[in-house]
A and B are shown apart, each in its own frame.
Chain A
Amino acid sequence: EDKVVQSPLSLVVHEGDTVTLNCSYEVTNFRSLLWYKQEKKAPTFLFMLTSSGIEKKSGRLSSILDKKELFSILNITATQTGDSAIYLCAVDRETSYDKVIFGPGTSLSVIP
């Protein structure tokens, strides 16, 4: 059965800490891996990863994919209270059925 697993499921850190969120997957017909940040309601897009070993960066956030070991990490450096959110990992598949599979999310709380 295709699945996406995230760890940890919940995390509490202090402002200024660096965090690493993990996403592993077992899916057929892998096309890309996606990271989203969800605050309150609508998820917002962070990264799309298709190739192994190429780090994508956006400010204090960065992410990398390992297609051999089937995982990705999302790093957040110098965390701020505004980083508090649920971080979702999803795999987009090259298939017309069950095209996108999401992980359960990691709930990150950053305390002052």
Chain B
Amino acid sequence: KAGVTQTPRYLIKTRGQQVTLSCSPISGHRSVSWYQQTPGQGLQFLFEYFSETQRNKGNFPGRFSGRQFSNSRSEMNVSTLELGDSALYLCASSLGLVGYEQYFGPGTRLTVT
């Protein structure tokens, strides 16, 4: 069974630009969550999608958005990039919303210069 895949794995962007990250969940998983990990703030929850709807949201500004497609693949978009957005962005999938084990992808390393 293929694991969670994320693309691209590495990305370098300039301040003010926008970026789109992609996540393909494990086949059959309908929930996709996104996390940001930085040395200073640790691992922080961004949002969770289930059946193409955002079900849960973390404490992040509106520059961070996402969506989920009918095949459960998800994208995350960050607009007007700031230096502080440099981080490892992790995606995790699970069968459902509550009480299910999450499987993480390898992450996308975003560097903003």
Residues of A within 8 A of B (CB): 31-32, 41-45, 48, 50, 88, 90, 95-105
Q: Can you list 22 A-B contacts (CB < 8 A)?
A: A31-B98, A32-B99, A41-B90, A41-B106, A41-B107, A42-B104, A42-B107, A43-B43, A43-B90, A43-B104, A45-B101, A45-B103, A96-B55, A96-B56, A97-B56, A98-B57, A98-B59, A99-B56, A99-B58, A100-B35, A102-B43, A104-B42
Q: Which residue of the partner chain, among A42, A88, A99, contacts B48 with CB atoms under 8 Å?
A: A99
What's the interface size class on B, roughly?
Answer: 20 to 34
Q: Which residue of the partner chain, among A42, A48, A88, contacts B99 with CB atoms under 8 Å?
A: A48
A98 touching B58, Cβ below 8 Å: yes
**Further pairs besides A32-B99, A43-B104, A100-B45: 12, Cβ < 8 Å:** A41-B107, A42-B105, A48-B99, A48-B101, A97-B57, A99-B48, A100-B33, A100-B35, A100-B58, A101-B45, A102-B42, A105-B43
Please indicate the chain B residues that have their CB under 8 angstroms from the CB of A44 in the complex: 104
Q: Of residues 59 to 113 in B, which have CB atoms within 8 Å of A's CB atoms?
A: 59, 88, 90, 98-99, 101-107
